[in-house]
Amino acid sequence: MATAPPLPINVELPALEETPPRQLGRWRRLPLKAKAGVVLLGFFVLVAIIGPLVAPYDPGFQNPSPALSMAAPSAAHLLGTTQSGQDVLSQLLSGIRLTLELALLVGVIAGALSVIVGVASAFLGGVWDELLSLLTNVFLVIPALPLLIVLLGYLPHTGQTATILVLALLGWPWGARVIRAQTLSIRNRDFIAASRESGERGWRIIAFEIVPNEVSLIAANFVNTVLYAIGASVALAFIGVTNLSSWSLGTMLYWAQSQQALQFGAWWWFVPPGLAVALMGTSLVLLNTGIDELGNPRLRDANQRARINGRRLLPTDPTPVLSATLPAGRQSPVMAFMRSFSRSAYVSDRAQRLSAPKPSEGQR
Amino acid sequence: MPFILRRLGFYVVAAWVALTVNFFLPRWVPGNAVEAIMSKFPSLQPAAYHALEAMLGVGNGGSIWHQYGSYLVDVLHLNFGISSSEYPAHVSTLLAQTIPWTLVLVGTATVIAFFLGTLLGILAGWRHGGWLERLLPGLMFLQAIPYFFLALLLLYLLAVNVHIFPMGQGYAGGLIPGWNWSFISSAFFHSLLPAFTIVITSVAGWMLQMRNVMITTIGEDYVLAAQAKGLRNRRVIFSYAARNALLPQLQGFGLALGFVVSGAIVMEIVFSYPGIGLLLLNSVTSDDYPLTQAIFLVITFAVLIANLIVDLVIVAVDPRVRTREAA
Amino acid sequence: MTTDLSGPVPVPAGQAGHGRFAGEPVLSIRDLSVVYRTMAGDVRAVDQVSMDLNAGEIVGLVGESGSGKSTLAYGATRLLRAPAVITGGSVLYQGRRMDTPIDVLQLSAGQLAGLRWQEIAIVFQSAMNALNPVMSVHNQLTDVIRTHLRVPRAEATEKAAGLLDMVGIPRTRLRSYPHELSGGMRQRIMIAMALATDPEVVIMDEPTTALDVVVQREILGQILELKDRLGFAVLFITHDLSLLLELADRIAVMYAGELMEIGTATEIHHEPAHPYTKRLLHSFPALHGPRKELAGIPGTPPDLHSPPPGCPFLPRCTEGTDACSHIDVRLARVTSSADPEHMTACPFVLPDRPDAATSGSALSIRPSTEELTS
């Protein structure tokens, strides 16, 4: 069957910078930031679990020997010692576990509270919504740290449990507000109305239609709450409000500050706990950004676009035209010379030549 | 205008909640705490003793509502009682000495950080995928560092090891506070490192937030329309995209003020800066409840007022807010 | 020799329409192809589409969602954002102020900015989204006037007021913000804004889709009246064919990124030359005439990631055969039509043409294509 010669429908486009196969596993498709965050967080969770078991010394064990007071890192004490001869590494390991434990618990409790309040407020509407929103906003606007200090200051015991409860008490408003907004917008969508019409009971609608649509929001909220809990608990311990007998990271910093580790140059005392806090926080922020990008298509698209194009395009740049020659002056001679060595330039130049209109084109 | 009135009403409610929590808390806790407070005061004049009793609800100074009323009146007159750690100084005197330091340092640094962060965020959002993006992981790290830890590090590196900056304090020892050049220059010099710390830790947050909002805003139709109109790039970026992106950014600023202030206060402790933070540390470690309470109230009120100012700015910038309430 | 468009384009005194007659093409799209480069592969959003827009006429561009009609219009003005890339063709524009046509695809960013709005303006679909919510109407009208016409503020304000008069909106509305106006008012302001610098071509991207029918009527009436008065050409993009039958001079039908048929509105209405057009015509009821059975078009448009070979409409076409999947679908003249420019992409409606698969050269191939294949 003789056919006309195939018309050149396809322009040979230069290869994409990254062309992963279309069937990517869910893990591979996650943005890099999220993966880094998960790995880092996983590392800390591991340390939290096995750390205190492999700690060389008891964190509170004081060694009266003056040679070991604020001693620099050595073979015996990998991270040096404190003023009273305690091993910094052991304190660090125990501190990571305590801090992470506390933060995760606060995250769960406050997270659950914020989901309950947020969904209830949006779903019930009316007076309940007004009251709950008012409560949420009041606790949002009152600065958390001073209030925490006052609350903890009056409690007779300020151990781990008390701290967890108080932190959770002040940790839910942020998430509640966000979840309420999302629930409101979902509630007004058609498929909810359809469920209502078909007679589904309220709690079933909430559990099976609304909440599953908010999973990424709830996850992001959980991560945020954990972040807040870490920061707040460390800050509270640093000020000296919480119980000083347990070895959390904040407590380490408190003692380092009050024993003037800084002035004595004992960096091994305050740098490791601070760094641990910072790294844990960073892993959470990375994770959050990754979840953000998964949920917000514009952020994700923007990232992909930024990566796909060979050149970085500004939003106001006109749509690039492959078959057109570059207007004069766009590339300096030096850049053109250097570019002539690159393979991608060769490929795209070849493509341009293949698809370039003949000289007679362009006139009518 | 109605919008502002509603916000004002809300802040009054929030302030009232703070006051009430402050008032009822010592009364809800088992009696031991109160007596412990009382025992910290070495020797009181009878009048002051009664005043303290009234404030803490000890004894029978009238019905609880009577006490509540007089408590509120006291607060309105800025009478917060007497400090037990700095006895016999009045709490309000101590506050008056320290608030200006904190206000100048934290206020100025926060505003600078916000402007800088927002500007960088606009750039980063516009030039998406540019070199600013490579800074992002570093910025996220910065955002996650507790304020006071960065302060410790900077102090260690720049003051202890290398004596560029002073080791702390608000001004060089031996100087007398006053409006003279040597004092002011010394105070300024001493505030550089703390201000620097605040700016560095908070810029990252503002920049990231503005970048995300900008990216979303750039996808809006009116930015494309502005492009289609053939307007200059500068106008498209600032008058069309950034001006709209600024609104969520401002709202975020209002919400984040509480955190900023909290972090800055703790950071003051590291620098031994004579602001409210240091006062707070002293009052907490010496269990000076009147002072602690008062500091909490002052900080809360400051944040509420700052929020009100931000709301005023939002009204000025967003025309939709004005008419929405009037409709 | 191309015209310098970096500044305002001067109209030679007393030479309106110099070198050109009304009815000559003012915008000429030739073999335009647009590709979206995504992580999942390249998507051919527009595949070698050619069409002309003559001075003072209304050309309707109709198609389903995803047919590429908006992409075509925005691509022709290079307003598409990443990851869109134009991979071929040319877009020749010659306004009445210009001597020779210029290729929009060859312009630099600066030259394009001069071309935009002054020569080719766009009326967007949803005025609520396309108007800047924090800028007053006055500012949004005057900033484009001052950018292109370089006139002082007072004069720009006066011009803006004049524009509002033209579309029938009270002058006091200059101070208003978009959210304070009704939907119809906003759309009229969009139209006024588009005409602010007296363009030659106005692209209207579904301008009345978001409005109710009564307001729709008013707006369309307004558009026609303004077009007669100011003499601009309109490219009217919509998914509503019934609207175009009344409004447009010529109609182009797009499907899956390719042009299926193009011809005058009368011919398209009474003698459609493509199965897709026929199905579209049967999809809406007529107000008069005999009752006919309403039929939709079962099926969905093809996935543009991996387009099937041959005619894209084949899976949903009732008149297709196996041969349709082997042909290269390109426009050819409908010889039986009263309209000499009536083109179609379907070989079956051309009664005097043998099977396209066996004699490809019988397809009336356009000269440009012939040159490309050599």
Least confident segment among B72-86, C85-99, C244-258: B72-86
Residue B213, pLDDT above cutoff 70: yes
Q: How far is A362 from chain C (nearest CA, A)?
A: 7
Picking from C38, A317, A117, A231, the residue whose alpha carbon sits closest to that of residue B224 is A317
Residue C244 parent element (H or E): helix C241-247
Q: Are B148 and A147 in contact (CB < 8 Å)? A: no
Interchain proximity A317–C106, CB inside 8 Å: no
Pick from B141, B218, B263: CB nearest A278: B141
Q: Which of A97-111, A209-223, B203-217, C172-186 has the lowest mean pLDDT?
A: A209-223
Tens digits of per-residue pLDDT, B95-146?
888 888 888 888 888 999 999 999 999 988 888 767 777 777 777 777 777 8
If you average pLDDT over residues C168-180, what whole number do you get?
90
Q: Look up residue C304 and give its two tokens.
A: 């543009």
| Chain A hits for C37, Cβ within 8 Å | 13, 16, 308-309
Q: Which residues of B touch A312 (CB under 8 A)?
A: 127, 129-130
pLDDT higher at C225 or B2 = C225
Contacts of A264 in chain B (CB under 8 A): none
Q: B127 and A235 in contact by Cβ < 8 A? A: no
Euclidean distance between the first and final Cα of chain C, in Å? 28
**What are the tokens at A67?**
């040679």
Distance from the Cα of B213 to chain C's closest Cα (Å) equals 16
Most confident of A33-47, C71-85, C280-294: C71-85
Greater confidence (B219 vs B45) lies with: B219
Work out the average pLDDT over C3-8.
42
Measured over all CA atoms, what is the biggest interatomic distance in chain C, rounded to whole angstroms? 68
Alpha helices in C79-173 (DSSP H): 109-115, 127-130, 137-149, 153-167
At position B326, the amino acid (one-letter code) is A
> Cα–Cα–Cα angle for C331, C335, C341, nearest 5°?
55
Option in A149, A265, A292 nearest B160 (CB):
A265
pLDDT above 90: percentage of residues in chain C: 24
In this predicted structure, what is the pLDDT of residue C10? 44
- Taking only the tens place, the pLDDT of each residue in C52-63 is 998 889 999 998
Q: Which of A45-59, A213-227, B223-237 has the lowest mean pLDDT?
A: A45-59
User: Are the Cβ atoms of A137 and B146 closer than 8 angstroms?
Assistant: no
Chain A contact set for C34 (CB, 8 A)? 319
> What does chain A come to in residues?
364
Which of A254, A228, A225 is CA-nearest to residue A242?
A: A254
pLDDT category of residue A24 using cuts at 50, 70 and 90? very low
Place of tokens 């063709």: C89
Closest CA to B52 of B300, B296, B285, B293: B293
**Looking at residue B11, what is its pLDDT?**
92
Residue C89 pLDDT > 60? yes
Other beta carbons within 10 Å of A56: 11
d(CA A85, CA A67): 9
CA separation for the pair C131, C182 (Å, rounded): 13
- Cα C144 to chain centroid, rounded: 22
Burial A89-103 (b: 16+ CB within 10 A, else e): bbbbbbbbbbbbebb
* B-chain residue closest to C131, CA distance: B222
Mean pLDDT of C299-311: 78
SS3 per-residue string spanning chain B? CHHHHHHHHHHHHHHHHHHHHHHHHHHHCCCHHHHHHHHCCCCCCHHHHHHHHHHHCCCCCCCHHHHHHHHHHHHHCCCCCECCCCCCCEHHHHHHHHHHHHHHHHHHHHHHHHHHHHHHHHHHHHCCCCHHHHHHHHHHHHHHCCHHHHHHHHHHHHHHHCCCCCCCCCCCCCCCCCCCHHHHHHHHHHHHHHHHHHHHHHHHHHHHHHHHHHHHHHCCHHHHHHHHCCCCHHHHHHHHHHHHHHHHHHHHHHHHHHHHHHHHHHHHHHHCCCCHHHHHHHHHHCCCHHHHHHHHHHHHHHHHHHHHHHHHHHHHHCHHHHHHHHC
Q: Which residues pair with C93 in a beta bridge?
A: C27, C102
d(CA A318, CA B274): 56
| pLDDT score of B113 | 92
Read off the pLDDT of residues A222-249 as tens digits, 9 standing for 90 and up.
998 998 899 888 888 888 887 777 788 8
Q: Which residue has the tokens 């209207």?
A: C204
Q: A359 touching B, CB under 8 A?
A: no
CB contact under 8 A, A324 and C28: no
Q: Chain A residues with CB inside 8 Å of C92's CB?
A: 362, 364
Interface of B with C in 88-147 (CB under 8 A): none
The CA distance from A344 to C80, in Å, is 24
Q: Nearest 5 degrees, angle CA B308-CA B313-CA B316? A: 130
* Burial category of A307 from C-beta neighbours within 10 Å (exposed 0-12, middle 13-18, buried 19 and up): middle
Among A271, A285, A298, the residue with its CB nearest the CB of B143 is A285
Closest-CA residue of B relative to C123 is B225
A253 to chain B, any CB pair closer than 8 A? The answer is yes
Element (H, E) at A303: helix A297-308
